[in-house]
Amino acid sequence: MITTLAALAAVCLLSLAFVLIIPHFAATKVLMRFLPQDIREAAKAHPDPPAGRKKIGYLLTALMAAGYVGVIFFLGADGIRRGYGFWLLFGRYMLFMYGYKLFDILVQDQYIVITRKYYVQFYPETRGCKSWNDRSFNTKNQLIRLIAFPFVCALMAWITLIIGR
């Protein structure tokens, strides 16, 4: 369990760094697709960063995704090395996925995006948008993920066992 929590902490820190750094490098359209419609509309005319910075943004995004996938592979490989069966792997993946989602909802969405309004400093034209105060802006998407996680984790545990043995 310590290994799973350490991996979860590493991914949460990686994700936090990404969320705080990416506005400097991401194309407006890419970053805004995660935010509500009125904010996207207000930021539509915002200029993109120069091409060189956008390339760095795409590289950072790829590194973040690779890090996330790498941690999932590490958790599976470590579980196989420790002799975990299906249920222990399933539980490990569930702890990781739900732990990360809890961090995403509470820290990234609710605190950074809604409470601190971090992205307003990069997109000042969105300052008056009502969605900056809407704490339920992506509830439907989050619920879909939360419902899908047990199935995804079961599939990952099953695949890990097939590949690992």
Average pLDDT, the chain: 90
Range of the domain at 150: 2-164
pLDDT band of residue 66 (cuts 50, 70, 90) is: very high
Name which residue leads in pLDDT, 7 or 128. Answer: 7
Mean pLDDT across 102-112: 92
Contact between 46 and 125 under an 8 Å Cβ cutoff? The reply is yes
Residues of the chain with pLDDT > 70, as a percent, come to 100
Burial class (CB in 10 A: 0-12, 13-18, 19+), 151: exposed
Contact between 100 and 8 under an 8 Å Cβ cutoff? The reply is yes
Q: Roughly how many angstroms between the first and final C-alpha of the chain, as a whole number?
A: 22
Q: What pLDDT does residue 90 have? A: 97
What is the token pair recorded at 15?
A: 């994700």
The number of folded domains in the chain is 1
pLDDT higher than 90, residue 135: no
pLDDT band of residue 41 (cuts 50, 70, 90) is: confident
Contact between 39 and 129 under an 8 Å Cβ cutoff? The reply is yes
Name which residue leads in pLDDT, 24 or 97. Answer: 97
Q: What pLDDT does residue 26 have? A: 85
Where are the alpha helices (H) located in the chain, listed in sequence order? 2-21, 28-32, 37-43, 51-81, 86-103, 139-164
> Chain centroid to CA 97: how far?
10
pLDDT higher than 80, residue 52: yes
Q: How far apart are CA 42 and CA 28, in angstroms?
A: 11
pTM attached to this predicted model: 0.87
Cα separations (Å) of 54 from 34, 57, 123?
Answer: 17, 5, 16
Q: Which of helix, strand or coil describes residue 99? A: helix
